[in-house]
């Protein structure tokens, strides 16, 4: 039920955001995670608030799953001073250390070496915090991926490398630019477990993530966890997805994990229709409130332009 | 209260790291080959692995992106890493981590994630290492808002500036010129000695012309100042020490006093740090200067290997002297 709630909050936020973009109420760019909700929700459910998460420009689902409040999140997406980063980061750089969301990067693959540092920090400080770094299949072809996995293995860092494999690297199918069929197989080269799981099966992913996180917390080192998933809205808002067979997209949407999980909860008598409807209503109300809050919030004062470049006393 | 000892630059740096590791548990060092017995490519970490342990003096694979990422991740979560990137040209290998992440994470997070890390790196022409092991790349780093850039010229500053970098809350790139590593010993204060960032040193007072410089070229400029003093030319030498933040007040005060300025650096002239200095001085002192700011720097070529070419590449004392004489002619 918690998984359903988180995924529903993500989906509702995403749908509202896209509809406002389509109507022209919101500008800018947006990388929708629609279809990948459980890749974030199931892993996020296994994390503590003081655990660390690093994500990418397609990061809304990871940000919500780590517990970033929707008001501050939406305000940051609109560049408002009430946002998590006072409007200075935007959707591609959401940071909320109070909730363990340490970095959102706009550069493919760059989060992985930083996740290693977060893991190292926990080791050196003697805490049992773990770090989850999310990335796509495309990132596994970047040098930073390989350097980060190697170092995490050598130092046995408490890091879980979560590859949300949506089968497309920007506008290119995975198979056309990748030497392996499964990203998880690359873990073998770095002497760590590599696990592939159906990222649209929330319970299976929840269990595998739990195992990987438990290993990391116990000092047993890193894991590559590959969640097979799909993005329904292409790389970026407005992407016509001409590079993708129409049937492939239709089949993926047909297998939309959210309604499927909803039906599974009902069929297994794990939730009642009224309970699920209440979750959906609450998500809609929370998202509407976040949008209202963010749209009414102030833009940063121009005096903010040159602050936060350096620490105290140093002018930009 | 504290004494002084004569140390070379490598020893002074070693002592700074030792002090930092001793006084603050959040400090740790990481880099290629820095463990015993060598203590790094130039031995700056010698003895520290034994004293502070392999956990805090961490050997890394040859993985500059992973090293820099590890430093960044640790820095945003409560640590003060001191990463060694063996040679400055290898900074290019991790430029994304340094420029897109270390430099920007404070700003992009609205101040939520400061990045208190230090990157030490070695470089400089003259050792016969050719085009990919010798470049001075400071101008590229000063061009990245969020980074601080420091270039010491002597052992005492090396110690004091490095300790200030380690305990600064911003990412600092600390550039060590290899030609200074074994350039003789000098008095270095004991203990936790700090030289503030952003403060230039007036290393020689003069009245006719100001030389603005940093790193190894401070040594050359002082030698030239002695030479031309015999002809009655009084040269003021300013060691900038920190390029970002820049001590603009000292630069302008000195250039305003002498009305003549020569910038000397080993990096290539085109778009070098001297261009920024010249522009700043011209903008602020345009009507007062007796001559346009002159620049003595390397030509716009990669560092060559052949001894004859390498020596022609490095700004010479002769070139510095000629520039000074032209200013006062």
Q: Which residues of A touch B167 (CB under 8 A)?
A: none
Closest CA to B116 of B156, B59, B72: B72
CB-based contact B208:B156 (threshold 8 Å): no
Whole-number pLDDT of residue B111? 97
Whole-number pLDDT of residue A171? 86
Closest CA to A86 of A288, A237, A285, A302: A302
Phi, psi (deg, nearest 5) at residue B240: -65, -35
- B109 at the A interface (CB within 8 A)? yes
Domain identity same for B236 and B266: yes
- B53 at the A interface (CB within 8 A)? no
Facing residue for A114 by CB, picked from B78, B101, B169: B101
Share the mean pLDDT of chain B.
97
Residues A204-234 have pLDDT tens digits of 999 999 999 999 999 999 999 999 999 999 8
Q: Which residues of B touch A151 (CB under 8 A)?
A: 60-61, 63, 66, 70
Dihedral sign (CA A66, A67, A70, A76): negative
State the DSSP H helix or E strand holding residue B7, giving kind and residue range, or none if neither. strand B4-7
Q: Which residues of A touch B61 (CB under 8 A)?
A: 147, 150-151, 154
CB-based contact B51:B18 (threshold 8 Å): yes
- Nearest residue on chain B to A98, judged by CA atoms? B112
Three-state SS at B13: helix
Domain identity same for B37 and B160: yes
Whole-number pLDDT of residue A163? 97
Three-state SS at B108: helix
> Is B83 a member of any domain?
yes
Q: What is the CA radius of gyration of chain B?
A: 20
> Is A140 a member of any domain?
yes
Dihedral sign (CA B128, B129, B130, B134): negative
pLDDT interval class at A137 (50, 70, 90): very high
CB-based contact B39:B46 (threshold 8 Å): yes
- A124 at the B interface (CB within 8 A)? yes
Q: Which residues of A touch B113 (CB under 8 A)?
A: 95, 97, 102-103
Three-state SS at B32: strand
Check CB contact under 8 Å for A311 and B114. yes
Give the pairing of strands B148-150 and B242-244. antiparallel
- Nearest residue on chain A to B78, judged by CA atoms? A121
Q: What is the pTM of this model?
A: 0.96
Beta-strand (E) ranges in B49-106? 57-60, 80-87
CB-based contact B295:B272 (threshold 8 Å): yes
Determine if residue B292 is left, alpha or beta; phi over 0 gives left, psi from -120 to 50 gives alpha, anything else beta.
beta
Q: In CATH, what number is assigned to the domain containing residue B270?
A: 3.40.50.920
State the DSSP H helix or E strand holding residue B253, giving kind and residue range, or none if neither. helix B248-258
- B106 at the A interface (CB within 8 A)? yes
Q: How far is CA B196 from CA A92, B37, B150, B162, in A?
A: 35, 32, 11, 10
- Nearest residue on chain B to A131, judged by CA atoms? B73
Whole-number pLDDT of residue A174? 87
> Is B194 a member of any domain?
no
Domain identity same for B155 and B253: no
Check CB contact under 8 Å for B71 and A105. no
- Nearest residue on chain A to B95, judged by CA atoms? A110
CB-based contact B35:B59 (threshold 8 Å): yes
Q: How many structural domains comprise chain A?
A: 1
Q: Which domain holds residue B244?
A: 201-328
CB-based contact B273:B215 (threshold 8 Å): no
Check CB contact under 8 Å for A117 and B198. no
Residue in the block written with tokens 């939730």: A271
- A100 at the B interface (CB within 8 A)? no
**Model confidence at A135: pLDDT above 60:** yes
Domain identity same for B159 and B65: yes
Check CB contact under 8 Å for A144 and B100. no
Domain identity same for B178 and B223: no
Residues B133-172 have pLDDT tens digits of 999 999 999 999 999 999 999 999 999 999 999 999 999 9
Angle, alpha carbons A18-A20-A23 (nearest 5°): 110
Question: In 10 A of CB B276, how many CB atoms?
Answer: 17
Q: DSSP readout, B147-192?
A: -EEE---SHHHHHHHHHHHHTSSS-EEEEEEHHHHTS--EEEE-SS
Q: Which of B189, B221, B238 marks a domain boundary?
A: B189
Residues A156-188 have pLDDT tens digits of 999 999 999 988 888 888 888 999 999 999 999
Question: Mind telling me how many Å the CA of B285 is from chain A's nearest CA?
Answer: 22
Q: Which domain holds residue A218?
A: 26-247
Q: Which residues of A touch B56 (CB under 8 A)?
A: 124
CB-based contact A64:A40 (threshold 8 Å): yes
CB-based contact A71:A290 (threshold 8 Å): yes
CB-based contact B157:B218 (threshold 8 Å): no
Check CB contact under 8 Å for A316 and B76. no
Question: Mind telling me how many Å the CA of B114 is from chain A's nearest CA?
Answer: 8
> Is B196 a member of any domain?
no
> Is A80 a member of any domain?
yes
Domain identity same for B44 and B104: yes
| Residues within 8 A of A (CB atoms), B 209-268 only | 245
Phi, psi (deg, nearest 5) at residue A250: -60, -40
**Model confidence at B1: pLDDT above 70:** no
> Is A20 a member of any domain?
no
Q: In CATH, what number is assigned to the domain containing residue B158?
A: 3.40.50.970
Give the 3-state DSSP-derived string for chain A, with helices as H, strands as E and coil as C.
CHHHHHHHHHHHHHHHHHHHHHCCCCCCCCCCCCCCHHHHHHHHCCCCCCCEEEEECCCHHHHHHCCCCHHHHHHHHCCCCCCCCCCCCCHHHCCEHHHCEEEEECCCCCHHHHHHHHHHHHHHHCCCCCEEEEEEHHHHHCHHHHHHHHHHHHCCCCEEEEEEECCEECCEEHHHHCCCCCHHHHHHHHCCCEEEEECCCHHHHHHHHHHHHHHHHCCCCCEEEEEECCCCCCCCCCCCCCCCCHHHHHHHHHCCHHHHHHHHHHHCCCCCHHHHHHHHHHHHHHHHHHHHHHHHCCCCCHHHHHCCCCCCCCCC
Residue in the block written with tokens 């074994």: B182
Q: In CATH, what number is assigned to the domain containing residue A70?
A: 3.40.50.970
> Is B19 a member of any domain?
yes
Q: What is the ipTM of this complex?
A: 0.95
Whole-number pLDDT of residue A167? 87
> Is A125 a member of any domain?
yes
Kindly report the length of chain B. 329
Residues B53-105 have pLDDT tens digits of 999 999 999 999 999 999 999 999 999 999 999 999 999 999 999 999 999 99
Q: Is B186 exposed, middle or buried (0-12, 13-18, 19+ CB in 10 A)?
A: middle
Q: How many structural domains comprise chain B?
A: 2
Instruction: Please list, in sequence order, all residues whose beta carbon lies within 8 angstroms of the beta carbon of residue A79, skipping any fewer than 6 positions away.
Output: A87, A90, A299, A300
Q: Which residues of A touch B78 (CB under 8 A)?
A: 121, 125
Domain identity same for B154 and B211: no
Check CB contact under 8 Å for A112 and B69. yes
> Is A131 a member of any domain?
yes
Q: Which residues of A touch B82 (CB under 8 A)?
A: none
Whole-number pLDDT of residue A169? 86
- B97 at the A interface (CB within 8 A)? yes
- Nearest residue on chain B to A80, judged by CA atoms? B110
d(CA A264, CA A274): 15
Residues B228-280 have pLDDT tens digits of 999 999 999 999 999 999 999 999 999 999 999 999 999 999 999 999 999 99
d(CA B147, CA B102): 8
Domain identity same for B156 and B211: no
Question: Mind telling me how many Å the CA of B208 is from chain A's nearest CA?
Answer: 31
Check CB contact under 8 Å for B168 and A147. no
> Is B195 a member of any domain?
no
Dihedral sign (CA B92, B94, B96, B98): negative
Facing residue for B73 by CB, picked from A114, A312, A314: A114
Facing residue for B107 by CB, picked from A88, A144, A314: A88
- Nearest residue on chain B to A300, judged by CA atoms? B110
> Residues of B with catalytic annotation?
133
Residues A12-68 have pLDDT tens digits of 999 999 999 999 999 989 999 999 999 999 999 999 999 999 999 999 999 999 999
Phi, psi (deg, nearest 5) at residue A190: -115, 20
Check CB contact under 8 Å for B100 and A102. no
- B52 at the A interface (CB within 8 A)? no
CB-based contact A223:A194 (threshold 8 Å): yes
Angle, alpha carbons A237-A13-A2 (nearest 5°): 130
Q: DSSP readout, B258-317?
A: HS-EEEEEEEESTT-HHHHHHHHHHHHHTTT-SSPPEEEEE-SSPPP-SHHHHHHHSPPH
CB-based contact A62:A274 (threshold 8 Å): no
Facing residue for A95 by CB, picked from B74, B113, B245: B113
Whole-number pLDDT of residue A107? 96
Check CB contact under 8 Å for B61 and A143. no
**Model confidence at B182: pLDDT above 90:** no
Domain identity same for B218 and B314: yes
> Which residues lie across from B242 on neighbouring strands?
B150
Question: Mind telling me how many Å the CA of A252 is from chain B's nearest CA?
Answer: 35
- B148 at the A interface (CB within 8 A)? yes
Q: Which residues of B touch A83 (CB under 8 A)?
A: 110
Whole-number pLDDT of residue A95? 98
Among A147, A148, A154, A190, the strongest candidate for a mutation testing the B interface, having the largest count of B CBs within 10 A, is A147
Domain identity same for B179 and B292: no
Q: Which residues of B touch A310 (CB under 8 A)?
A: 106, 146, 148, 170, 245
Domain identity same for B181 and B241: no
* DSSP summary character for residue B113: S
Check CB contact under 8 Å for A117 and B65. no
Count Cβ neighbours within 10 Å for each residue of A200-229 and write b for 16 or more, e otherwise: bbbeebbebbeebbebbbeeebbbbbbbbb
d(CA B81, CA B203): 31
- A171 at the B interface (CB within 8 A)? no
pLDDT above 90: percentage of residues in chain B: 97
CB-based contact B199:B247 (threshold 8 Å): yes
């Amino acid at each position: 039920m918690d998984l359903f709630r988180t995924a529903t909050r993500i989906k509702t936020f995403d749908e509202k955001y896209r509809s406002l973009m389509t109507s022209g109420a919101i500008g800018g760019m947006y990388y929708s995670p629609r279809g990948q909700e459980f890749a974030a929700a199931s892993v996020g459910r296994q994390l503590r608030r003081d655990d660390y998460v690093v994500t990418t420009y397609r990061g809304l689902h990871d940000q919500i799953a780590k517990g970033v409040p929707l008001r501050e999140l939406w305000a940051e997406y609109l560049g408002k001073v009430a946002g998590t980063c006072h409007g200075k980061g935007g959707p591609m750089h959401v940071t909320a250390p109070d909730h363990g969301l340490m970095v959102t990067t706009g550069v493919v693959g760059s989060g992985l070496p930083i996740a290693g540092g977060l893991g190292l920090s926990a080791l050196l400080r003697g805490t049992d915090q773990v770090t989850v770094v999310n990335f796509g299949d495309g990132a596994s072809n970047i040098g930073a991926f390989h350097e980060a996995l190697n170092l995490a293995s050598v130092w046995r860092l408490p890091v879980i490398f979560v590859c949300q494999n949506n089968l497309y690297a920007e506008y290119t199918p995975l198979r056309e630019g990748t030497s392996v069929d499964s990203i998880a197989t690359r873990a073998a080269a770095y002497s760590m477990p590599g696990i592939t799981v159906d990222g649209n099966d929330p319970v299976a992913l929840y269990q595998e993530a739990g195992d990987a996180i438990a290993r990391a917390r116990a000092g047993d080192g890193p894991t590559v966890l590959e969640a097979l998933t799909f993005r329904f809205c292409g790389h970026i808002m407005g992407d016509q997805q001409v590079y993708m067979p129409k049937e492939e997209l239709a089949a993926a949407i047909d297998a939309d994990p959210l309604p499927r999980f909803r039906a599974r909860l009902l069929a297994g008598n794990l939730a009642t229709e009224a309970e699920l409807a209440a979750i959906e209503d609450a998500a809609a109300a929370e998202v509407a409130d976040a949008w209202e809050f963010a749209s009414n919030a102030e833009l940063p004062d121009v005096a903010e332009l040159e602050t936060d470049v350096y620490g105290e006393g140093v002018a930009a | 209260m504290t004494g002084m000892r004569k140390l070379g630059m490598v020893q002074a740096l070693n002592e700074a790291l030792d002090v930092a590791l001793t006084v603050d548990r959040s400090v740790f060092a990481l880099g290629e080959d820095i463990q015993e017995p060598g203590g790094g490519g130039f031995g700056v970490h010698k003895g520290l692995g034994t004293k502070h342990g392999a956990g805090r003096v961490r050997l890394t694979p040859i993985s500059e992106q992973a090293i820099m990422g590890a430093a960044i991740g640790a820095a945003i979560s409560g640590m003060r890493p001191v990463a060694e990137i063996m040679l400055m040209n290898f900074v290019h290998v991790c430029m994304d981590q340094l420029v897109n992440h270390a430099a920007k994470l404070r700003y992009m997070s609205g101040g939520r994630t400061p990045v208190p890390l230090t990157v030490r790196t070695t470089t400089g022409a003259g050792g016969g290492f050719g085009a990919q092991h010798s470049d001075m790349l400071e101008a590229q780093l000063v061009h990245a808002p969020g980074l601080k850039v420091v270039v010491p010229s002597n052992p005492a500053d090396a110690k004091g500036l490095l300790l200030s970098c380690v305990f600064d809350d911003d990412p600092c790139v600390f550039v060590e010129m290899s030609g200074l590593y074994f350039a003789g010993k000098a008095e270095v204060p004991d203990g936790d000695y700090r030289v503030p960032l952003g403060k230039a040193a007036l290393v020689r007072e003069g009245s006719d012309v100001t030389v603005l410089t940093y790193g190894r070229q401070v040594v050359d400029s002082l030698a030239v100042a002695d030479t031309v003093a015999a002809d009655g030319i009084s040269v003021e030498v300013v060691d900038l020490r920190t390029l970002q933040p820049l001590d603009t007040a000292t630069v302008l005060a000195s250039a305003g006093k002498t009305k003549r300025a020569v910038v000397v650096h080993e990096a290539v002239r085109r778009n070098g740090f001297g261009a920024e200095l010249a522009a700043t001085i011209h903008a602020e002192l345009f009507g007062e200067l007796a001559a346009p700011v002159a620049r003595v720097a390397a030509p716009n070529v990669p560092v060559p290997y052949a001894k004859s070419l390498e020596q022609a590449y490095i700004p010479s004392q002769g070139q510095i002297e000629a520039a000074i004489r032209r200013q006062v002619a």
